[in-house]
Structure 1
Amino acid sequence: MITVTAQQLQIFAGILVPAILSPGPAVIAASQSAFALGRARTLPYAWGLAFGASLWCAVSLLGLTIIFQTLPWTYTALTVLGGLYLLWIAWKMWRHAPDPLPDPAEGTGGISFWGGVTLNLSNPKPALFYSSVLLSVFPLSLTVLDKVAIYTTAVSVEMIFYTAVACLMALPWPRRRYYASKFWIDRGAGLLIGLLGLTLILRH
């Protein structure tokens, strides 16, 4: 039996959309892949990123939120680790901003469905987000069908978003702009991700 309401699911999706839109390593990775490799090569990678992010929702539904409630220090620890991870990503982007774009014909072993899954599973930020939102939007007591409905909403929103990123960023105009301004775009993105990481750490 489903006990969550359509309104709760809409609120959940409404919170999820702007959170995904915020600068993050997965969005940057999908965008840069689309710029360099085009839509067809990037779509499987984008879908992997979406599925990997949605798995954090599944993990949260299966009990991560309970762990956070029972042992509050685990939430703080995961937040700090997530912030450090984002700082590492930011440093890599800043340092490699002068590097040329990869050749589309080579060096794309990680640009695959499973490469996308791995990238988002290596980033604990979605776990923090999903756990927080689930606790604030839905009741603690959820049926199996409730969890299926919530997960289906999450994976649908993630898939739609990352598909849109792969398609839009592969269009000729944004690709030309990126080629012309790669250094400053990468430096700016690295700075934004670094600020997000610092924010995560300093909040605790």
Structure 2
Amino acid sequence: MDYFIYLGICIVATASPGPAIFLSIKNGAKYGFSKALIGVVGNVVAMLTLASVSAVGLGAVILASPLLYTAIKVIGGLYLIYLGVKAWCSKPLSHTEHTEKLVITAPSRLKIFSESYLVGISNPKAIAFYTALFPQFINLDQPVFSQFALLAGTFAVCSFLFLATYVVLASKLRKYLERKKTLVWFNRITGGVFVGFGAALVSSNHA
């Protein structure tokens, strides 16, 4: 019963809109499914990293230090703002000067992975989530590592499935982004969303 409660929490948490989801949508729409899926893997690896940090107790240490927590929060928020400004200011390139059809050049797989990993790892709210959640579902009378592996693995699978679903749906929009005006507005909308998330993270109170 406890596991299914945890599963329900994971589903709600991973399906709810956030920076990782909007980054997956942006990548899927602009670069297609296969490239965007690399970003999904990057975000999932970041989530597993944060889960491991919380499991060994470092999450509690970070939460106990307002200065360290604030530093991570500000760095993460500024990175999201940077991604937003970068998306807003990006200029689409046409095949020629006489056509509105665009060539969208995808960054390398390593860059897509790294960008998604940094978006995931720089969110201190995830550390707070894991640190508060894991102890509620771990029985100290049973082997802890196997329980941790199950909890972290469940969250990772849920995250992967939902992000991949958003990527599939967004990749269907790629053909519409071949028009210059559409891509300009898409960049502005996604850029604005990232700036909003970043500003909210920077300005949020310690919790």
Q: What TM-score comes out, normalization by structure 1 length?
A: 0.76
Name the CA distance, whole Å, in 2 between partners of 1:86 and 1:41: 20
Count of matched residue pairs: 191
Aligned residue for 1:169, secondary structure, equals: helix
Which structure has the larger Rg over C-alpha atoms? Answer: 2
C-alpha distance 81-92 of structure 1, shift in aligned 2 (>3 A): same
In structure 1, the partner of 2:92 is: 99
**Displacement of 1:196:** 1.5
Contact 2:73 2:202 survives alignment (8 Å): yes
Contact 1:90 1:194 survives alignment (8 Å): yes
4+ residue stretches of structure 1 with deviation over 6 A?
none
**Displacement of 1:127:** 4.2
In structure 1, the partner of 2:45 is: 51
**Within-5 A mapping of 1:149-168:** 149-168=150-169
What RMSD over aligned residues (CA atoms) do the two structures have, in Å?
Answer: 3.0
**Within-5 A mapping of 1:13-162:** 13-19=10-16, 21-22=17-18, 24=19, 26-96=20-90, 98-100=91-93, 103=103, 108-109=107-108, 112=109, 114-123=110-119, 127-139=123-135, 142=138, 143-162=144-163
**Displacement of 1:92:** 0.8
Name the CA distance, whole Å, in 1 between partners of 2:35 and 2:119: 23
C-alpha distance 159-87 of structure 1, shift in aligned 2 (>3 A): same
Name the CA distance, whole Å, in 1 between partners of 2:155 and 2:47: 9
Structure 1: which 5+ residue stretches go unaligned? none
Q: What TM-score comes out, normalization by structure 2 length?
A: 0.75
Contact 2:30 2:177 survives alignment (8 Å): no
C-alpha distance 198-33 of structure 1, shift in aligned 2 (>3 A): closer
**Displacement of 1:72:** 2.9
Name the CA distance, whole Å, in 2 between partners of 1:107 and 1:149: 35
C-alpha distance 117-29 of structure 1, shift in aligned 2 (>3 A): same
Greater mean alpha carbon deviation, residues 75-84 or residues 122-131: 122-131
Structure 2: which 5+ residue stretches go unaligned? 95-101, 139-143
**Displacement of 1:94:** 1.2
In structure 2, the partner of 1:170 is: 171
Name the CA distance, whole Å, in 2 between partners of 1:175 and 1:107: 12
